[in-house]
Amino acid sequence: MIEVKDLVTHYGETKVLDGVSFAVKRGEIFVIIGGSGCGKTTLLKHMTGLLKPTSGTIIHDGVNIVELDEEQIAEVQRNIGIAFQSGGLFNSMTVGDNVAMPLREYGKVDETLVNALVRLKLSMVGLGGAADLMPGELSGGMRKRAGLARAIALDPPVIYFDEPSAGLDPIIASGLDDLILNLNKLLGITFIIVTHELDSIRKISHRILMLDKGKAIFIGSLDEALNSSVERVRQFFERRPDEQMAQQGR
């Protein structure tokens, strides 16, 4: 469904991504992991067309989005959903109006159907009664769910989710993981998720990409990651600090 080839990007003189290549299969939950500053969020921005790389290709359903202009990128973005780390809701609008935004902006949906579709999407994420609430009235977990409802408003085949469990307690985070699994299973949505939460990675991932210092050092299943010969991968899953960090902490 999506193929990334030899992706390189810089922030000034700093090389953030260094020849990253991988492919995402249709219908899978593809999880991107790695330490802070390894390039995870930058990679997500490239894949959603929010940021242009220095070089390389990103193929969405046969189209190299790196070569597209802003108007063409906007067309691609209409067919993807993006759920932001904080939920990304507009605080001046009701939850229902937040979810309705893509329907009104891109969906060409009759206005008489918008409210029904909004309530349907909110019900799918467990927020059936929240349409008239303001974002400030929602808990952190509810905001994430509302952001996900907006991401699925136009029934996109793929959703990008940046740190879905960040800032949530373990019970709420587990419920969000269940929601992602259900949407993947029932609707066949492909999820590309950036996270560092080990419990979520173990629960939802079909395949995992690990970045380290801008390079892709591992691609494979959870079982393959847990038995990897790559020390950095084992270190991540075993929660072992670097020797240098451990010595500094003494």
pLDDT for 85 = 73
Q: 200 near 170, Cβ under 8 Å?
A: no
Residue 135 is given by DSSP the state: G
Q: What is the pLDDT of residues 101-142, one digit of tens each?
A: 988 887 677 888 999 999 999 999 999 989 999 999 999 889
Task: Identify the burial level of 57 via C-beta atoms within 10 angstroms of its C-beta, where 0-12 means exposed, 13-18 middle and 19 or more buried.
Answer: middle
Q: Describe the crossing of helices 140-151 and 170-187 by its angle, rounded to 10 degrees.
A: 20
Q: How confident is the model at residue 246 (pLDDT cuts 50, 70, 90)?
A: very low
1-79+197-250 has which fold?
Rossmann fold (3.40.50)
CA 138 to chain centre: 21
**HEC per residue, 12-65:** CCEEEEEEEEEEECCCCEEEEEECCCCCHHHHHHHHCCCCCCCEEEEEECCEEH
Q: Where are the domains of the chain?
A: 1-79+197-250
User: What pTM was estimated for this model as a whole?
Assistant: 0.90
Length reported for the chain: 250
